[in-house]
Amino acid sequence: MVERITEIYVILENKPSQLGDLCSFLAENEINIDAIGVFHDTAKLVVQQLNKAVKVLGKLNYTTELRDVLKADLENRPGALAELTTKLGDEGINIEYCYGTLSHKANAVSIVLDVSDIDRACRVLGA
């Protein structure tokens, strides 16, 4: 299953404790992180309480941006991600970044992808 979702893009200072502080602030406000990717000085977050998270982070002076991305639920097996990403590449859709979560219990993975053309990617993947 592929769906369009919104992630929170958060600017972090590149110094110790920044990620811990961010995660602690969200936890203190009872906001659960469903998926996270951290890349140098940014964090990409998928949370269930999006509006609440944006409000909390704004009060704490974090620079944030909302971005539309794709979430793909895949079978946890060799080649599943290769099939999805090759399909996008064959259509000329660039993947800017991706990160994922794994559930051993469900034998499934969820991958979050930022792509160059989200509308076309949704059509290609049947979202």
- pLDDT value of residue 70: 96
Please, are residues 47 and 32 in contact by the beta-carbon 8 Å criterion?
yes
The class level of CATH for 69-125 reads alpha beta
Per-residue pLDDT of 68-99, as tens digits, reads 999 999 998 999 999 999 999 999 999 999 99
- pLDDT value of residue 49: 94
DSSP3 helix / strand / coil % (the chain, rounded to 5): 30, 40, 30
Q: What percent of the chain has pLDDT over 90?
A: 80
2-68 and 69-125 in the same fold: yes
Q: In the chain, what are the domain boundaries?
A: 2-68, 69-125
With a cut of 70, say whether residue 104 has pLDDT above it. no
- pLDDT value of residue 22: 95
* pTM given for the model: 0.86
- pLDDT value of residue 126: 85
* Domain 2-68 belongs in CATH node 3.30.2130.10: yes
